[in-house]
Amino acid sequence: MSDYRSYLTKNGFLMLRDELNHLLKVERPKVVTDVSWAASNGDRSENGDYIYGKKRLRQIDSRVKYLLIQIEDSTIVNPLEQVNKDQIFFGATVSYLNLSTNKNNTIQIVGVPEIDTAQNKISWISPIAKSLLGKRVGDISIFETPSGDVEIEILEIKYV
């Protein structure tokens, strides 16, 4: 277990649970069937189907273990149940203005396993999220990046 508290949004929890169920009920049984078939073909040392199947089983088992730990050790937070909706907390969707580039951006602060940059979902332990936590609309926040400090103004806070 890592040295920080693990949080998941309700949607993130459901996503991990669905992935776990898919791996256990669909993927793993299919690969086990493939490996059994490949093993029945004789010499396993040069049997590509067998070797690949065993490797894939290890990958699935590793992912299952990771998912189980994330699901069991995380606190589930439903952003819709946030009481102080005028402040930024875990699960918030935040629109902000980058004061250096004059560009707007919107992000959602989520748990580590939920990170998805394509959907603008960032971890609550990222530098920008840490700088935003507790802030309100109109507040200015500064966070550190490899290319220097970035100053942003919070425009909107939503909990969806």
Instruction: Please tell me whether residues 83 and 70 are part of one structural domain.
Output: no
- Does a structural domain hold residue 126? yes
- Does a structural domain hold residue 118? yes
CA Rg value for the chain: 21
- Has this prediction a pTM greater than 0.85? no
Instruction: Please tell me whether residues 154 and 88 are part of one structural domain.
Output: yes
Give the pLDDT confidence of 74-106 residue by residue, as tens digits: 999 999 999 999 999 999 999 999 999 999 999
Region of 144 (left: φ > 0; alpha: ψ -120 to 50; beta: rest) is: beta
Count of CB atoms situated within 10 Å of the CB of 104: 13
Q: Name the pLDDT band for 4 (thresholds 50, 70, 90).
A: low
Instruction: Please tell me whether residues 50 and 116 are part of one structural domain.
Output: no
